[in-house]
């Protein structure tokens, strides 16, 4: 879909994604930034298709995707990185509220998209260093994804960062630009496979099935 078409529908998509959807008691959460509504469609949808396909082939079961909890966690694009007092206070309040929600509901898989939402979640979980969104290059975020998969533990909340951009011919391409399914098929396939394998390994501990 061209960026022109996405721009035409962007206000509607932003309004829709600002509202929480799904079931907070569901073990899978998606955290999104409403400034980039196309991420959900262009990044998550093809990965979810890969997850569902692999899960069905292995378990003959399907994830109840309608119950996946989707939440906007950054009301402003600069919420995490902005250092003004008012923004810092708003950010701190949102972090505390979200931390309480995570503590209460104990999601097992918490998926973020891009730099802002992942740095936000790091602060929710009180990671030692606030290194800032600028640190999370495509390479660093990819490395963090691999660590999250390698250290997956069903007894805790697993933070799994996904890219909000993909690479083509060595250059980063934002999801809002022309999007090549062929060039990014490998990322979707490998990411979906790795998440699916962790779900399959812990199938009896996850109440996510239709």
Q: What is the pLDDT of residue 74?
A: 62
164, part of any domain = yes
Instruction: Give pTM, 2 decimals.
Output: 0.78
The domain containing residue 70 runs over which residues? 3-205
The confidence score (pLDDT) of residue 78 equals 47
pLDDT average per 10 residues of sequence, the chain (210 residues): 36 50 95 78 91 97 96 60 60 85 96 86 74 65 92 96 65 41 78 97 96
How many domains does the structure of the chain reveal? Answer: 1
Is residue 191 one of the residues assigned to a domain?
A: yes
Asked if residue 24 is part of any domain, the answer here is yes
Q: Is residue 200 part of a domain?
A: yes
Q: Does residue 210 fall inside a structural domain?
A: no
Say which residues have a Cβ less than 8 Å from residue 5's Cβ, sequence separation at least 6: none
What pLDDT does 62 receive? 97
Asked whether residue 143 is domain-assigned, the answer is yes
Question: Domain with 51 in it: what CATH number?
Answer: 3.40.470
- The full length of the chain comes to 210
If one counts every other C-beta atom within 10 angstroms of the C-beta of residue 16, the result is: 14
DSSP tag of 21: B
Q: Residue 85 domain-assigned?
A: yes
What is the pLDDT at residue 76?
A: 52
Is there a domain that residue 70 lies in?
A: yes
* Residue 20 structure tokens: 């929480």
């Amino acid at each position: 879909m061209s960026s022109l078409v996405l721009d035409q529908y962007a206000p509607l998509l932003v309004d829709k994604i600002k509202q929480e959807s799904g079931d907070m008691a569901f073990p899978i959460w998606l955290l999104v930034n409403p400034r980039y509504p196309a991420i959900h469609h262009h990044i998550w949808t093809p990965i979810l298709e890969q997850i569902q396909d692999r899960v069905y082939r292995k378990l003959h079961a399907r994830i109840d995707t309608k119950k996946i909890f989707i939440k906007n966690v950054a009301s402003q694009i600069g919420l995490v990185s902005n250092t003004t007092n008012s923004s810092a206070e708003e950010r701190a309040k949102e972090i505390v509220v979200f931390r309480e929600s995570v503590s209460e509901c104990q999601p097992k898989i918490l998926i973020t998209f891009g730099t802002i939402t992942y740095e936000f979640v790091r602060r929710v979980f009180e990671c030692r260093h606030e290194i800032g969104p600028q640190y999370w290059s495509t390479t660093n975020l990819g490395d963090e994804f691999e660590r999250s998969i390698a250290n997956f533990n069903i007894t805790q909340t697993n933070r799994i960062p996904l890219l909000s951009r993909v690479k083509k011919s060595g250059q980063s391409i934002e999801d809002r630009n022309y999007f090549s399914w062929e060039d990014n098929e490998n990322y979707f396939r490998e990411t979906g496979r790795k998440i699916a394998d962790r779900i399959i390994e812990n199938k009896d501990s996850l109440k996510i099935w239709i």
